Amino acid sequence: MGYKRILVPVDGSATSKAGLREAINLAKGQGAQLQLVHVADQHYIALMGMESSAAGMAEMMAGVKRAGHDILRSAKAAADKAGVKASSVLLETLTGPAADVIVKQAKKSGADLIVLGTHGRRGVRRLVMGSDAEQVVRNAPVPVMLVRAT
């Protein structure tokens, strides 16, 4: 059984790029298409901008969305260059972790695999930082391939 629809969360980090490279290689071998996903985290902006005006908050969020579109454009260009069909979607979260939005999108899009870069943190650092990758693995309706950046 091969994969036909692979969901790939991207955030522009080296870890995310490692996941994208692996997803592109897998998609080429399987004849699959990619759905590239970036999550614009409004919750994080709200925490950062507690003392900002509403206009300042809106400006920060617009900047986050622009950056997200740039990240998606770059990821799509990498897929296109490799001859892999890819679509992209910018998602937003107001209240919860990015993992929740990623899992919801996997269900909505009919993905049959999620490929995700991970830092592979352990111990105290993972407890402090949390782990979107771990939450995706726990809640995903499909297999998840974790790719550790070198």
**Secondary structure in 3-state letters for 87-132:** EEEEEEECCCCHHHHHHHHHHHHCCCEEEEEECCCCHHHHHHHCCH
What pTM was computed for the model? 0.86
Give the torsion sign (CA, 104, 76, 18, 41).
Answer: negative
CA–CA separation, 100 and 120 (whole Å): 19
Long-range contacts for 53-57 (Cβ within 8 Å, ≥24 apart)? none
Q: How far is CA 63 from the centre of its chain?
A: 18
User: Tens-of-pLDDT digits for all 150 residues of the chain?
Assistant: 689 999 999 999 888 999 999 999 999 999 999 999 999 877 666 666 555 677 777 788 888 889 999 999 999 999 999 999 999 999 988 777 888 999 999 999 999 999 998 875 554 444 444 478 888 989 999 999 999 877
The answer to whether 103 touches 139, Cβ cutoff 8 Å, is: yes
What domains are defined for the chain? 5-148 (3.40.50.620)
